[in-house]
Amino acid sequence: MLEGVRDIAICRLTSADVVRHALVQEIINAYERADKPQEPKKEKKQVKGRRKTT
């Protein structure tokens, strides 16, 4: 949205850039995890002859 606006720069920070507060590092890590493509969950295969108990 702000690309091309004079005197504004976009900077991408990682948790390695934040050294002052652990909470800020955790927030950045959470955003980084959310940005990663998620793999579909694999279904557990039931072994033949055994019942799945819940």
pLDDT digits (tens, 9 = 90+) for 1-54: 777 888 888 788 777 877 778 888 888 889 889 988 777 767 766 666 666 666
Q: What is the 8-class DSSP label of residue 40?
A: P
State residue 15's pLDDT score.
76
Q: Which of 37, 1, 32 is nearest to 15 (CA)?
A: 32
State residue 32's pLDDT score.
87
State residue 53's pLDDT score.
64
Collapsing DSSP states into helix, strand and coil, what is residue 38? coil
State residue 52's pLDDT score.
63
